[in-house]
A and B are shown apart, each in its own frame.
Chain A
Amino acid sequence: MSLDSRVRGETVFPDLERLLPFVSKPVQYVGGELNATVKQWDDVAVRWVLMYPDAYEVGLPNQGVQILYEVINERDDALAERTYSVWPDLEALMREHQVSQFTVDAHRAVGDFDVFGISFSTELGYTNMLTALDLAGIPLHTDQRDDSHPIVIAGGHAAFNPEAVSRFIDAAVLGDGEEAAMDITDAIAKWKSEGSPGGRAELLSRLAEIQGVYVPSFYDVDYLPDGRIHRVVPNRPEAPWRVAKRTVMDLDEWPYPKAPLVPLAETVHERSSVEIFRGCTRGCRFCQAGMITRPVRERSIDTVGKIIANGLAATGFDEVGLLSLSSADHSEIGEMAKQLADRYEGTNTSLSLPSTRVDAFNITLANELTRNGRRSGLTFAPEGGSERIRRVINKTVSKEDLIRTVSAAYGAGWRQVKLYFMCGLPTETDEDVLEIADLAREVIRAGREASGRRDIRCTVSIGGFVPKPHTPFQWAAQLGWEETDARLDRLRQTIRNDREVGKAIGFRYHDGRPGIVEGLLSRGDRRTGAIIEQVWRDGARFDGWSEHFSFEGWMAAAEIALADEPIDVDWYTTRERDESEVLAWDHLDSGLDRDWLWADWQDALNETEVDDCRWEPCFDCGVCDVMGTEIQVGPTGRSLLPLTVVDSPIPASGTEAAPSGN
């Protein structure tokens, strides 16, 4: 029962099992997924535990974790297991009965592993990391850990500024994880085979020499009297001045996930997903993902076809998602959609494309992908309500284009169109946001005309904008939550008061307060860590869930944690920075040239747009030069056919894998 009497790697399931009858949805804690891997503890040198710091239903489908899980488990000298956040009901019981944070694969204690990798796609998972560390018996602060504790590594998009969690993580990996995870595994295997010389400190300094690995404790930060950062300097020779991100250049060499995990419990995405490319050069200025994942690297049409065929055969899923930051931009998306639709016609397999760009081509694609299926809803993301604000954010679409596109959608049988917007963008006024109501009215009018029916709907979904590091808006002031809420309320009233179309327009919005906490954490620095620890000690958990999130809790914690500092939450969020200010993440290199980012920020303020370097000449964002990378786009001219199925656990035949033309 007690943590100390166990052998390392031994299962804790018998202890956990006694608690499961008393918690909600116990199936989420038992594992047993199809395609899960359990290896013998003593057969391998390096043992990873991977975490997505949210509930199982959200964490399990995460592509990043699934990819790393597979690539690590394919090695003979390593194993990877997974752990997810436990809900407060189980957390309380685990504390009472001294059951450690566990993996769902072999139910091993998280503290027994060599490396604890945590993937952050949002900063709102930080408090859940602290719960997991604490339940695992791992000291929260890196300087209190010893050789018996795992190396805690953060990854995912939030790792591009991990300063707010720098006191809790031993290292962060910037950029694509596949190759970095291999290098880290190699380094740990070598260090262990040498007898673990120099302990934890030596291992960290070896990890710091791997490209993309940032060890926060190897850098000192000092501050100016007014609270701004004075400088960030390495305190070790092996720590580079700037840590450069990792970029996987050939996605066809990494065709993962090959056998996606199939959960027993219900999760948010029940489908087989394939990333059709990484990176985006559309240049939307608010979009951190588009900025930090450059350049564009396409996966070829035949590799995409293979991944889908294998994924469906290995899982039995009936839905395929073609993922990327802007899937319609793949150079061969038209052929891909047509050939996939041919191949899976009549098989009850549906194909989906997160379609967010507003143009007629998207409708053609969407029609193709739903050839046999339902045409329920289509989603577009104009992001800004007025053409002026769309120039500011570089999401260039004219009102006429938008109306033409949605008309085509309604005309093709789509009943509902969802439009995504942001509120609180730089330079925004009430008028920019109120134009959303005009736009929605014209969408409904045009849709009624195009479809000849009155029961069509349009949903306006809108949330507060959060400025993110490594974007042109990293210097921008975030709009306060009161102003955000007031602006959203005005928009809601305007839509509701529209007698002609008001009932056909749905309005979904997120209030501005969670955005302030997200803003505090995403542009946070090392002092922000004290707030996270305070709010967690006060009981904060699952901050991404509105029923658990407490804005008041965060503000109270910030008050306490920043009591002796000349700064406050507003300083982090609603304050505009100037060009010379040292930003907390300036020593972390996403490849983007700082001068280019500043110039792009100035262009934004001047409402000047910038093109996409896939079709226009390079505009010197800096990524390819600095990282030695290049844009990789087709068309390859290759085809999906003929189909060859490899590595399928069950022979694929019949409906799903049948080539078209049968």
Chain B
Amino acid sequence: MARASRDPGREFVPPVVKVRIRYAKRGRLRFSSHRDFQRAFERAVRRANVPMAYSAGFRPHPKISYANAAPTGVASEAEYIEIGLSDHRDIETLRADLDAAMPPGLDIVDAVLATEGDLVGRLEASVWQIELPEVTELEARSAGEKLLAADEVEVERMMKSGLRKFDARAAIRSFDVRSNPADSVTCAILTVVVAHGTPSVRPDDVLAALRQVADLVPPVPPRVTRLAQGRLAADARTVSDPLTPDRVAEANPMS
């Protein structure tokens, strides 16, 4: 009993071009989950009349690849997706249309035509900003020093497979602390560069590690923002923009 194609109207539409997109998750919409973003984005491509390529299969899906989504509750300035188009479009117009079709707070901030190479491979590390209200710069600094001094800090996290223990220390490549002198309220601001890996070390794990090595327990929920993702710089304090290779290739098509 072969299932003949009962779906003549929905055919496989192969991608003609691929577009890489950076989006931000800001303000109260940081509480949206990755699935929430997916649904919102799939609707936005329909509202903005983006000529999407569709997957083959019984229930075709628009071709969208997601990479390394930030956890629910964490804001981000640097989330990445790649979409397949069935037709050419002006990239900046496409970005602006998509941004207009998304709810404010889920903002489409950058888009480039994909060239050679794998986008996910360029996302080696994340720069996280962790704001700790009611924690002094000094407390945070001393906790960070203890963390960096340790060889290994084992933390626990509930995963699909159950409670898992893993080392959070090795992935932490740099740890800087500052506070905003203009701010009247006490708030330490951490900038932590964390390499991606499996299991991925998330901001929660960094905070758990700080609790473990220095008993640092934030009295108020921290506000976390992913500032950037990309290839790790030599000083391990910054990352490079992962869309730059595509932009360079487009500007110099012959090179």
Which chain A residues lie closer than 8 Å to B15 at the CB level? none
Which one, B30-38, B113-121, B150-158, B170-178, is touching chain A?
A: B30-38
Say whether, besides A13-B28, A27-B33, A348-B10, A266 and B43 are in contact (CB < 8 Å).
no
Which chain B residues lie closer than 8 Å to A25 at the CB level? 33
Are A26 and B44 interface neighbours, CB within 8 A? no
Which chain A residues lie closer than 8 Å to B42 at the CB level? 316
Bound together, the chains give a CA A30 to CA B59 distance in angstroms of 32
Which one, B96-104, B179-187, B227-235, is touching chain A?
A: B96-104
Bound together, the chains give a CA A18 to CA B223 distance in angstroms of 10
Output the least CB separation between B137 and chain A (Å): 22
Which chain A residues lie closer than 8 Å to B160 at the CB level? none
Are A34 and B36 interface neighbours, CB within 8 A? no
Say whether, besides A32-B103, A266-B39, A374 and B47 are in contact (CB < 8 Å).
no
Is B81 interfacial (CB 8 A cutoff)?
A: no
Is B40 interfacial (CB 8 A cutoff)?
A: yes
Which one, A247-255, A548-556, A605-613, A650-658, is touching chain B?
A: A650-658
Are A32 and B104 interface neighbours, CB within 8 A? yes
Say whether, besides A316-B43, A372-B8, A650 and B32 are in contact (CB < 8 Å).
no
Bound together, the chains give a CA A345 to CA B59 distance in angstroms of 15
Say whether, besides A20-B31, A27-B31, A264 and B6 are in contact (CB < 8 Å).
no
Say whether, besides A30-B31, A264-B29, A264-B103, A650 and B48 are in contact (CB < 8 Å).
yes
Are B6 and A413 interface neighbours, CB within 8 A? yes
Question: Looking across the interface, which residue of chain A has its beta carbon closest to that of B104?
Answer: A32
Bound together, the chains give a CA A25 to CA B97 distance in angstroms of 29
Interface of A is mostly: loop
Output the least CB separation between A81 and chain B (Å): 15
Which chain A residues lie closer than 8 Å to B45 at the CB level? 316
Interface string of B1-38 (1 = CB under 8 A from A): 10000111110000000000000000011011101100
Are A346 and B9 interface neighbours, CB within 8 A? yes
Q: How many residue pairs, one in A and one in B, have C-beta atoms under 8 Å apart?
A: 100
Bound together, the chains give a CA A262 to CA B105 distance in angstroms of 14
The size bracket of the interface on A is 35 or more
Which chain B residues lie closer than 8 Å to A264 at the CB level? 29, 32, 36, 39-40, 103, 106
Question: Looking across the interface, which residue of chain A has its beta carbon closest to that of B52?
Answer: A348
Is A225 interfacial (CB 8 A cutoff)?
A: no
Are B103 and A34 interface neighbours, CB within 8 A? yes
Bound together, the chains give a CA A266 to CA B106 distance in angstroms of 16
Are B9 and A371 interface neighbours, CB within 8 A? yes
Are B36 and A27 interface neighbours, CB within 8 A? yes
Question: Looking across the interface, which residue of chain B has its beta carbon closest to that of A455?
Answer: B1
Bound together, the chains give a CA A654 to CA B220 distance in angstroms of 49
Output the least CB separation between B135 and chain A (Å): 15
Interface residues of A in 298-343 (CB under 8 A from B): 312-318
Which chain A residues lie closer than 8 Å to B8 at the CB level? 372
Taking a contact as CB atoms closer than 8 A, the residue among A312, A316, A655 that contacts B101 in the complex is: A316
Question: Looking across the interface, which residue of chain A has its beta carbon closest to that of B47?
Answer: A316
Say whether, besides A653-B49, A655-B49, A374 and B7 are in contact (CB < 8 Å).
yes
Are B220 and A18 interface neighbours, CB within 8 A? yes
Taking a contact as CB atoms closer than 8 A, the residue among A31, A270, A313, A314 that contacts B28 in the complex is: A31
Is B60 interfacial (CB 8 A cutoff)?
A: yes
Output the least CB separation between A25 and chain B (Å): 8
Question: Looking across the interface, which residue of chain A has its beta carbon closest to that of B31?
Answer: A26
Output the least CB separation between A428 and chain B (Å): 40
Are A372 and B36 interface neighbours, CB within 8 A? no
Which chain A residues lie closer than 8 Å to B6 at the CB level? 374-375, 413
Bound together, the chains give a CA A25 to CA B31 distance in angstroms of 8
Say whether, besides A266-B36, A374-B6, A18 and B221 are in contact (CB < 8 Å).
yes
Output the least CB separation between A317 and chain B (Å): 7
Which chain A residues lie closer than 8 Å to B35 at the CB level? 266
Are A17 and B9 interface neighbours, CB within 8 A? no
Question: Looking across the interface, which residue of chain B has its beta carbon closest to that of A348?
Answer: B10
Which chain B residues lie closer than 8 Å to A652 at the CB level? 49
Bound together, the chains give a CA A17 to CA B42 distance in angstroms of 27
Interface string of A184-201 (1 = CB under 8 A from B): 000000000000000000
Bound together, the chains give a CA A317 to CA B48 distance in angstroms of 12
Question: Looking across the interface, which residue of chain B has its beta carbon closest to that of A30?
Answer: B28
Question: Looking across the interface, which residue of chain A has its beta carbon closest to that of B11?
Answer: A346
Most chain B beta carbons < 10 A, residue from A18, A264, A313, A314: A264
Question: Looking across the interface, which residue of chain B has its beta carbon closest to that of A413?
Answer: B6
Bound together, the chains give a CA A374 to CA B6 distance in angstroms of 7
Question: Looking across the interface, which residue of chain B has its beta carbon closest to that of A657?
Answer: B49
Question: Looking across the interface, which residue of chain B has its beta carbon closest to that of A347?
Answer: B9
Is A490 interfacial (CB 8 A cutoff)?
A: no
Question: Looking across the interface, which residue of chain B has its beta carbon closest to that of A22?
Answer: B221
Which chain A residues lie closer than 8 Å to B68 at the CB level? none
Bound together, the chains give a CA A372 to CA B54 distance in angstroms of 15
Which chain B residues lie closer than 8 Å to A20 at the CB level? 31, 73
Which chain B residues lie closer than 8 Å to A30 at the CB level? 28-29, 31-32
Bound together, the chains give a CA A262 to CA B32 distance in angstroms of 14
Interface residues of A in 9-50 (CB under 8 A from B): 13, 17-18, 20-22, 25-27, 29-34
Is A453 interfacial (CB 8 A cutoff)?
A: yes
Output the least CB separation between A341 and chain B (Å): 10
Are A650 and B101 interface neighbours, CB within 8 A? yes
Interface residues of B in 29-88 (CB under 8 A from A): 29, 31-33, 35-36, 39-40, 42-49, 51, 54, 58-60, 72-73
Is A635 interfacial (CB 8 A cutoff)?
A: no
Which chain A residues lie closer than 8 Å to B1 at the CB level? 453
Interface string of B123-143 (1 = CB under 8 A from A): 000000000000000000000
Bound together, the chains give a CA A311 to CA B10 distance in angstroms of 22
Bound together, the chains give a CA A318 to CA B48 distance in angstroms of 13
Interface residues of B in 180-234 (CB under 8 A from A): 220-221
Interface string of A366-410 (1 = CB under 8 A from B): 000001111100000000000000000000000000000000000
Bound together, the chains give a CA A375 to CA B7 distance in angstroms of 10
Output the least CB separation between A416 and chain B (Å): 15
Bound together, the chains give a CA A132 to CA B24 distance in angstroms of 34
Question: Looking across the interface, which residue of chain B has its beta carbon closest to that of A346?
Answer: B9
Taking a contact as CB atoms closer than 8 A, the residue among B40, B47, B59, B221 that contacts A313 in the complex is: B47
Which chain A residues lie closer than 8 Å to B36 at the CB level? 27, 264-266
Output the least CB separation between A248 and chain B (Å): 30
Taking a contact as CB atoms closer than 8 A, the residue among A265, A270, A372, A650 that contacts B47 in the complex is: A650
Question: Looking across the interface, which residue of chain A has its beta carbon closest to that of B46?
Answer: A316
Which chain B residues lie closer than 8 Å to A348 at the CB level? 9-10, 54, 60
Bound together, the chains give a CA A318 to CA B54 distance in angstroms of 14
Are A373 and B103 interface neighbours, CB within 8 A? no
Which chain B residues lie closer than 8 Å to A270 at the CB level? 39
Bound together, the chains give a CA A18 to CA B54 distance in angstroms of 41
Which chain B residues lie closer than 8 Å to A374 at the CB level? 6-7, 58-59
Bound together, the chains give a CA A31 to CA B103 distance in angstroms of 10
Which chain A residues lie closer than 8 Å to B220 at the CB level? 18
Are B44 and A316 interface neighbours, CB within 8 A? yes
Question: Looking across the interface, which residue of chain B has its beta carbon closest to that of A654?
Answer: B49
Output the least CB separation between A200 and chain B (Å): 34
Which chain B residues lie closer than 8 Å to A266 at the CB level? 35-36, 39
Which chain B residues lie closer than 8 Å to A315 at the CB level? 43, 47
Output the least CB separation between A414 and chain B (Å): 11
Are A32 and B9 interface neighbours, CB within 8 A? no
Which chain A residues lie closer than 8 Å to B103 at the CB level? 32-34, 262, 264
Per CB-CB distance, the 9 closest pairs between chain A and chain B, nearest first, are A372-B9, A316-B43, A316-B47, A26-B31, A654-B49, A30-B28, A316-B46, A21-B221, A264-B36
10 contacts between A and B (CB under 8 A): A20-B73, A262-B40, A265-B36, A313-B47, A316-B43, A316-B45, A316-B101, A346-B9, A373-B7, A374-B58
Additional A-B contacts beyond A318-B46, A656-B46 (13; CB < 8 A): A26-B72, A32-B103, A34-B40, A264-B29, A264-B40, A266-B36, A314-B47, A316-B47, A348-B9, A375-B6, A453-B1, A650-B97, A653-B49
